[in-house]
Structure 1
Amino acid sequence: MSDKSIRVAVNGYGVIGKRVADAVTRQDDMQLAGIADTSVDWRLRVANQRGYRVFAATPKAHTSMSKAGIVLSGNLDDLLDEADIVVDCTPKHVATGNVALFRKRGLRFIVQGGEPHALTEHSFVAESNFDSAVGRYETRIVSCNTTSIVRTLGALKRAGLLKKARGTLLRRATDPWESHQSGIMNTLVPEQSIPSHQGPDAQSVDPDFDVVTMAVKVPETLAHLHYWNVELSRAADREEVLAAFHSSTRIAMVRLDDGLTGINSVKELMADLKRPNDNLYEVALWEDLVTIQNNELFYAYMVDNQAIVIPETIDAIRALTGLSTDSQKSIAKTNAALGIGSALY
């Protein structure tokens, strides 16, 4: 660890926060200042066991966490005193209330995709707009589904192949660890508007995208599944399209004829590869489903909503703090630390 490493605070130690914290500890130019939360459950006990410094996010939480036996190093203010940047991973809309504190302190910060683009006026996906984040004080990591959209459409755009795109999203009902509390059974629930919010959200990263999305919530919890129909800007064969997807290190090709016939088998592959938390950081795109008819491209892929935004968050830390001003160098560094590559197996 360099003496010049950036000190990162993580506020909120849930599905995303704990993965961000773990990813930070894997970087040689960052150190985890600590994590803040309000919970008294097993997650904070695991954080204690890992040696992470735990802080209470509120005075009330300090009392309840202490009574529950959570070893605390102070309150949120104490953590922020020791940080160069804070990654707010609190539940949807909570971060909006924290932003005033971060700004008052002149502290750089990152929020997640549950917050509106207007909160930071910048939304981030490393391969598309790293440069515009360099030196900023704040940015927003777009949602898991939006991240996948920007990665795949961005790869086609950089190859000069993208005219317009229409996508249908089959969205998991809830996170696996919360499936006993929420979710749906024996039904499908359409999102209440067309376009669904992911298309406009992708345009917050790249306004040039001509993209429309439709979404439906399905009764499963492992991952999201996308189907896309893209009108190509010019004639292209399948090999050129595949080359465009391969140009992104964060799109990984999988094949049905390898036995990866569903999102469950891809998730099992992550376990066999010994990824932390079975994380799929990449978009897992089925290579043998990529089809071109005339000037139309069809493809499908899987999105791990617990993991896909983690490398983006690490790159955003580098961009905001000036650790790196070169997107390719930052992406390569993050990929190496997290074991991300263009081939999964």
Structure 2
Amino acid sequence: MKKVFVNGYGSIGSRITQFIADDRDIEVLGVGKYSPDEKVSDAISRGFHVYVPKAKVDAFKNYKISGTIEDALSKCDLVIDAAPGGVGYQNKKSYYEPKNVSAIFQGGEKIGGDESVASLIFNSRVNYEKAFGAKYVMQGSCNVTGMGRILQPLKEKYGKRLKRFDATLLRRWADLEDSKAQVKDSIEWTRRPHHNEDVKSYMGADTPLFIRAFKVPTRQMHVHLMDIRFDGPAPSSQEIIDLYKNEYGVATLYNVKGTKDIRDYAESIKFNFKDTNMIHIHADMTEVQDDIVKMTYSDDQTGIVVPENHLLMQAMLFNRKREDAFKHTEELFHMEEKKKLLQEHFAKK
């Protein structure tokens, strides 16, 4: 049995910990916390051991702490870093390299350059086996992860017929549970968004992908508007929709008024954290114009990367065959059941 430590217990860390705690092949040593807040009590109430930085032990004197971050890292086989963006690099230099422990990092960190956390961005649909034997790997952000699920099936079916992908990302401003983040009454844009190079790092540098990113005042998921240009007439919209029929973590929905519709349904069915953990193709928004397929899909922020972390963990710890890893992830996440329920509820009328 392998021992895993989750360093961080925020939006991503709390989700990952609660799911992988049910994995029969690993032992969750505990979680790392850096601030004495309500999340400490939440973790302890769920039966998780909490570890804190050595220099901050006194700040946690009102909680039942199990030890220091250094203690946990000395005992684990792998750490899943769930720190805020940019802090992962600091953790790598301060903790993981000195302790010689393997680590998974989250989107928001960098690959390449002076503050690189890893040389590989993982996407289970594209490069699962490349994580075998890797010391440090970065799990792509939610937007970056979702693009792999969309682009790879297109690449496999149409190959050189594909000329260009133009994507506009409408990004949520803050996560649902992030009450401290203000959702501004403003639409803001990002110059040179990292998503473009991140996706190309695993899809190939020659991928003709061009991304614009906008931040919109909502907490209810991301939406991507993607124009797929073909060399010659484009396939029918139905052919494109059928392409994703059996894709893991991709649901095809009709008659959705907005992202909140999906969240509200997920909550009514008691999905964990109101997450669907997948991409939702909005089929009635998929259109064809001459050589272009115009596709709209929503991306389940935060939630989409949680099963990806579990798949990446299996690749790094066990070198498990891809099909076996997906079966094991399905046992914990029930993605196929969620997909079926979503597609039945938002069916074509």
TM-score by length of 1: 0.91
Tell me by how many angstroms 1:233 deviates.
5.2
Q: Give the count of matched residue pairs.
A: 331
Partner of 1:145: 143
Matched, 1:102 2:96: yes
Match of 2:38 among 42, 52, 55: 42
Is the 1:155–1:247 contact (alpha carbons within 8 Å) kept by the matching residues of 2?
Answer: no
User: Structure 1: how far apart are the matches of 2:71 and 2:121?
Assistant: 28
Matched, 1:85 2:73: no
Gap change, CA 1:336 and 1:255, over 3 Å in 2: farther
Match of 1:135, SS? coil
Is the 2:241–2:252 contact (alpha carbons within 8 Å) kept by the matching residues of 1?
Answer: no
Partner of 2:123: 125
1:125-204 correspondence to structure 2 within 5 Å: 125-160=123-158, 162-185=162-185, 187-193=186-192, 196-204=193-201
Matched, 1:15 2:11: yes
Gap change, CA 1:232 and 1:332, over 3 Å in 2: farther
Tell me by how many angstroms 1:180 deviates.
4.5
1:15-34 correspondence to structure 2 within 5 Å: 15-34=11-30
Match of 1:318, SS? helix
Gap change, CA 1:212 and 1:113, over 3 Å in 2: same
Q: Residues 208-256 of structure 1, C-alpha deviation per residue, up to 9 Å, x if partnerless?
A: 4211111111111121111110013565333331222223211111111
User: Structure 2: how far apart are the matches of 1:233 and 1:30?
Assistant: 48
Give the partner amino acid of 1:205: Y
**After TM superposition, what 4+ stretches of structure 1 lie above 4 angstroms from structure 2?**
none
Q: Residues 98-124 of structure 1, C-alpha deviation per residue, up to 9 Å, x if partnerless?
A: 113312322111011111012210000
Partner of 1:74: 67
User: Structure 1: how far apart are the matches of 2:287 and 2:121?
Assistant: 31
Matched, 1:245 2:244: yes
Give the partner amino acid of 2:127: N
Tell me by how many angstroms 1:275 deviates.
1.1
Tell me by how many angstroms 1:261 deviates.
1.4
| Identity score, percent | 24
Tell me by how many angstroms 1:182 deviates.
2.5
Cα RMSD (Å) of the superposition?
A: 1.7
Match of 2:224, SS? strand
Q: Answer with 205-214 or 131-140: which moved more.
A: 205-214
User: Structure 1: how far apart are the matches of 2:198 and 2:18?
Assistant: 27
Give the partner amino acid of 1:232: F
Is the 2:288–2:294 contact (alpha carbons within 8 Å) kept by the matching residues of 1?
Answer: yes
Partner of 1:320: 316
Match of 2:335, SS? coil
TM-score by length of 2: 0.90
Partner of 1:111: 105
Structure 1, unaligned runs of 5 or more? none
User: Structure 2: how far apart are the matches of 1:248 and 1:63?
Assistant: 49
Structure 2, unaligned runs of 5 or more? 343-349
Partner of 1:284: 280
1:189-268 correspondence to structure 2 within 5 Å: 189-193=188-192, 196-207=193-204, 208-232=206-230, 235-256=234-255, 260-268=256-264
- The structure whose RCO (Cα within 8 Å, separation 6+) is larger is 1
Is the 1:138–1:320 contact (alpha carbons within 8 Å) kept by the matching residues of 2?
Answer: no
Tell me by how many angstroms 1:168 deviates.
0.7
Match of 2:42, SS? helix
Tell me by how many angstroms 1:323 deviates.
4.7
User: Structure 2: how far apart are the matches of 1:295 and 1:332?
Assistant: 38
Matched, 1:337 2:335: no
